Structure 1
Amino acid sequence: MVLYTDRLKLRLVEPRDAEPMERLINDKEIARTTLGIPHPYPPGSADAFIQRRQEAADKGEGFSFAVLDRPSGTFMGIVGLRIDPAHHHAELAYWLGRAYWNKGYCSEAAKRVLQFAWEDLKLHRVWAAAMTRNPASFRVMEKMGMKHEGVFRGHVLKDGTYEDLTYYALLRSELS
């Protein structure tokens, strides 16, 4: 399964992504505002992550796409969906290496995965969450047309601090 945008190629994560993934993700600035990424990133963890995400894809429970620069094939990060089949909705999550921030890559990749969610998976709802201190992440959500649903105060514990999460979502019925 491969998705394309003007500048990017998105394909399901593969074992060959483990090394570049660990190199990019082992960055304190990425971990600081990302819920499930620790710092330092434990060596070998990318292999286990990729295995779990391949199993989820095989079961139709989620899809994690490696974000690649289209001309060079350089690994840039991941955009993924975790699907709840009982309710026909999914959580959208993403991260990119710091060298690729503020260039529109994340919005471009996330929009394409959102299109996949509607057209191929026929989902009813897609939602996403970000720490309130990570406005770049929720700007991506806003650019996709997601609507702000609220803030869960002190909702998660990250590095010893309770963090507020802001939630956004889009319903199939809201597509233009």
Structure 2
Amino acid sequence: MPQQPQRGRTGRTLVARAVRGAVLAGSLALLTLATACSGGEDGAAEGKKAETSAMSAPSAGVVAPAKVEVLANLTGCKVKIRTDADELREGVCHTTEGDYLITTFPAEKYKLTWLDSAAIYGGKYLVGPQWAISAKAKMLEPLRTKVGGTIQDLDAARKTGPTASKP
């Protein structure tokens, strides 16, 4: 039986992608559980929460699933699509601040599998619903203010279990 050619030209194996995705899934599940289990607040805490929310809210107001091109536009780059496969689309952005990758997924389960695989390599990623951005750590916060999402530290996940940095 002939094998079907692998779609995309990243040079990465599907196994590595699957492992990254599994790490991402675990990280997001833990993050969701942690945020869902927060306790009640008093008036002072609510004021602080409102201040934090204003600081952590993206200026673009977008945290929904989006296409690579939409996220690239919000970050101010003209993207070049590098991978267009059934399980993900990936584009490269070249900017004066540095290069970064924007990856989108047709379903959350693919993103989680991709993040699980990424844990092998460690690093920090900006993650939103059905998308992830890979960039140098210093670029993640400015990108987060433009597109939203959460910065996840996969180095910490590799050592102690899934965690995400606080916005």
Both proteins in one fold, TM over 0.5: no
Q: Rg: which structure is higher?
A: 2
* TM-score after normalising by structure 2: 0.32
The structure showing larger relative contact order (alpha-carbon pairs under 8 Å, at least 6 residues apart) is 2
* TM-score after normalising by structure 1: 0.30
Which structure has the highest strand share of the two? 1
Which structure has the highest helix share of the two? 2
